[in-house]
Amino acid sequence: MTLKTTRADKPKRRRKSAEETRRQLLTVAADELVRTGGALEMAELAKRAGLSEGLAYHYFGNRAGVIAAVVDAYFDRYEDAVIDLNFEGATWQEREQKRVIELVRFYCDEPLTPVIFSRLGSETEVMTVETRRSERIIDLAAANISRAQEAGDIPRTRDPRILGAMMMGAIRWAIVAVWPSDGNLPSKDELVTEIWAGIEALSHARSKR
């Protein structure tokens, strides 16, 4: 005897949670920003995500809210891959050279890097997020440098916060400066060599007071 399957017997499609829907919109938004070189329309975002335009507005408010969330997620990945890791090495210089390697790898492998740093860099929402996230990164850099000073790896005459900000800013603008319009970057090894030369020089330099 064959049993017929009724509508009640069919498994129900699980509804996505609010967090899953938000992540889906962010993923599509990031892809769209890379695809268009920084352009983003809420209607197109909702269409590509297979969701209603109203949901996109519900979760992010407007285009600026979406972009701010995408940039925040970018910095989450950056901190996970570069900042929140403890590298091995006998000296600060040995440890931080390894961090520079991971930093260059992240910037070069992350499709959003040129979009955020160049094409969207002047937008208010991007600048606001980057400023907020940079404060934590500089705080951590300053603490890292203070420990290096206690170990004798960096001169104690240097202000750790100023030195940390100089180092992080130099790296960021070095990446922006070499990023060509056609996307053909120098090799990662070359970038690491050039960036590390500058960071090492800053770490050994003595302030004149």
pLDDT tens across 77-91, in order? 999 999 999 999 999
Q: What pLDDT was estimated at residue 88?
A: 95
Domain positions in the chain: 17-61, 70-204
The answer to whether domain 70-204 has CATH 1.10.357.10 is yes
What does the DSSP 8-state code read for residue 81?
I
**Model-level pTM?**
0.86
The Cα 48–Cα 108 span in angstroms is: 26
Structural contact between residues 203 and 170, judged by C-beta atoms closer than 8 angstroms: no
- Pairwise pLDDT comparison (184 vs 130), residue with the higher score: 130
Q: Which two tokens stand for residue 17?
A: 């949670």
- The single residue listed with the structure tokens 């094409």 is 119
Looking at the predicted structure, is the pLDDT value of residue 7 above 70? no
Q: Of the given ranges (6-15, 19-28, 46-55, 195-204), which has the lowest mean pLDDT?
A: 6-15
Q: What pLDDT was estimated at residue 9?
A: 55
- Pairwise pLDDT comparison (179 vs 8), residue with the higher score: 179
Q: Which two tokens stand for residue 27?
A: 């993923």
The answer to whether domain 17-61 has CATH 1.10.10 is yes
Rg of the Cα atoms in the chain: 22
Mean pLDDT, range 175-196, rounded to an integer: 85
- The single residue listed with the structure tokens 């969701």 is 51
Domains 17-61 and 70-204 share a fold: no
> Average pLDDT over the chain, rounded to whole?
89
Looking at the predicted structure, is the pLDDT value of residue 206 above 70? no
Phi, psi of 112 (to 5 degrees): -80, -10
